[in-house]
Structure 1
Amino acid sequence: MKVLFIGDIVGSVGRGAVKKVLPALKSKYNPHIIIANGENAAAGRGITAAIAKELFDAGVHGITMGNHTWDNRDLFEWIDDEPRIVRPANFPPGAPGSGAAVIKANGKKLGIINLQGRTFLPPIDCPFRAADELIDEMRNETNQILVDFHAEATSEKIAMGWYLDGRASLVVGTHTHVQTNDDRILPEGTAYLTDVGMVGPRDGVLGMERTAVLRRFLTQLPTRFVVDEGDWHFHALLLETDESTGKAVSIQKIRLTEEELMFF
């Protein structure tokens, strides 16, 4: 099975890039299921029902979230009715929505699990114990399992990769918006990448307008960040799995700029 996982989509620039790039990626790689991280899709903070529909209409089959999950409060009104969106499973009990789902498309099934790290992020419930519980449940339905670990610390992400080696098809990091160069298949068959990167403005700072970010660093005063405009870059990965075992066969990073798309 082929799975395309798209990095954190940032604002309208990122959403526009997804709509422009996906037809070319689908033509070249023919993925069965497409998953994207959407926690920054609404002006850099959270997601709305209209934006979720926009991404689904563009060809995305499932959406993962992260620490900005609740930034658009209308999400509380509809997330329980949208099984294709998962928020971090280790939010404390009582949070709306679900942290895991089985996505079905093109005759295939993929389990997706969203977890949030605790190092340099709010100290929510343990992501490692949440992973144990969810993977055991999910393997009753499918052995094709993708884990989006939305975390700040590289060490915590690497630890999760080793912890789930042999139990997940892919452990991929999101949140830091910079694609790392450590893609590999771990010894027990789990594909791993510390961070897949982002989709959105190329010349900002992690997608935000850089003048405001520089002002914050220089003055340490409160500063309002807004999503940058201009040219985009697109980061994703392509996973291929052995459907009989759920183990990864290959993992390939994808990195495109707006200029490169015309030659892709």
Structure 2
Amino acid sequence: MRVLMIGDIVGRPGLSTLYHFLPRLKRSFQPDVVVANGENAADDGRGITRGIAREMFGAGVDCITLGNHAWDKREIFDFIDQEARMVRPANFPEGTPGQGYTVIPSPRGELAVVNLMGRSFLSTLDCPFREADAILRTLKGKPVLVDFHAETTSEKQALAWYLDGRVSAVIGTHTHVQTGDERILPQGTAYLSDVGMVGPYDSILGMEKESVVKRFVTQLPVRFEVSGGRTQFNAVLLDFHRTSGLAENIQRIRIDDDQPWFD
């Protein structure tokens, strides 16, 4: 099974970049399942709307994962319970709308997609390690992709080692900067600390540089706006063994706006 996991999509520039490159990537790499993190996909870079979710599915995304900005657009409460192809962090407290994992069909079988959120420098949620244990008890025999939406590299690495051999891949999201530490752990779990983002290139994590710098310099409240200009596309390509579901290959994908695309 081949899976294309796309990093955090930021605002309308990120969506436009997704729609431009995804058809080409699908032609070139022939993924069986496409997963994308959409928690920053709204026009202001915070949350997601029903319309944007439909756009992403229509463009060829099979599953949307979320994170700490999942609830920033209140309309998500109107549709998340009905959308089987969208997952929010599974370690939100019991009773939270939506689902923490889902199973996506593909020509090469089913892929389970699990969304978890870290607790270091983020909200105090239920334990992602114990939540992963509980979920995996229900997903025996399926390849499992974990989107771990977390702030610190140490927490991401810890979860990957904890789940090594029990899931197909643990891929980090949230920090918007693609890391160069892709590897397959000894028991067969693919790992990458952060897949990166899709959106403005000349920005700070997708936001206008000036406002972010002003916040650091003055320590005063500043409203962040999605930047414009050149864009970037970050993703990771994963190959899972057809019977064991463990990883056989992991390949980072990075396309900057000033680089040509070769089909």
AA partner of residue 76 (structure 1): F
The 3 A distance-change label for structure 1 pair 108 and 259 is farther
Which residue of structure 2 aligns with residue 234 of structure 1?
233
AA partner of residue 22 (structure 1): L
Which residue of structure 1 aligns with residue 107 of structure 2?
106
Which residue of structure 1 aligns with residue 23 of structure 2?
23
Deviation at 1:261, TM superposition (A): 4.2
Residue 38, structure 1, aligned to residue 38, structure 2: yes
2:254 match: secondary structure: strand
The answer to whether the Cα contact below 8 Å between 2:113 and 2:146 also exists between their aligned partners in 1 is yes
Which residue of structure 2 aligns with residue 216 of structure 1?
215
Matches within 5 A, 1:31-180: 31-42=31-42, 43-139=44-140, 142-180=141-179
Deviation at 1:245, TM superposition (A): 0.2
Using the size of structure 1 for normalisation, the TM-score is 0.97
AA partner of residue 169 (structure 2): L
AA partner of residue 74 (structure 1): E
Which residue of structure 2 aligns with residue 260 of structure 1?
259
Alpha-carbon displacement from aligned partner over 1:163-195 (angstroms, at most 9, x marks no partner): 000010000000000011110000000000000
Q: Which runs of 4+ in 1 moved over 3 A?
A: 261-264
Which residue of structure 2 aligns with residue 11 of structure 1?
11
Deviation at 1:136, TM superposition (A): 1.4
Deviation at 1:263, TM superposition (A): 3.6
AA partner of residue 23 (structure 1): P
1:204 match: secondary structure: coil
The answer to whether the Cα contact below 8 Å between 1:61 and 1:105 also exists between their aligned partners in 2 is no
Alpha-carbon displacement from aligned partner over 1:59-116 (angstroms, at most 9, x marks no partner): 0000000000000000001100001000000001110000000011335311000000
Measured in 2, the distance between the counterparts of 1:84 and 1:102 equals 8
1:105 match: secondary structure: coil
1:173 match: secondary structure: strand
Aligned Cα root-mean-square deviation (Å) = 0.9
1:236 match: secondary structure: strand
Runs (5+) with no aligned partner, structure 1: none
Alpha-carbon displacement from aligned partner over 1:189-224 (angstroms, at most 9, x marks no partner): 000000000000000100000100011011000000
Runs (5+) with no aligned partner, structure 2: none
Deviation at 1:259, TM superposition (A): 2.6
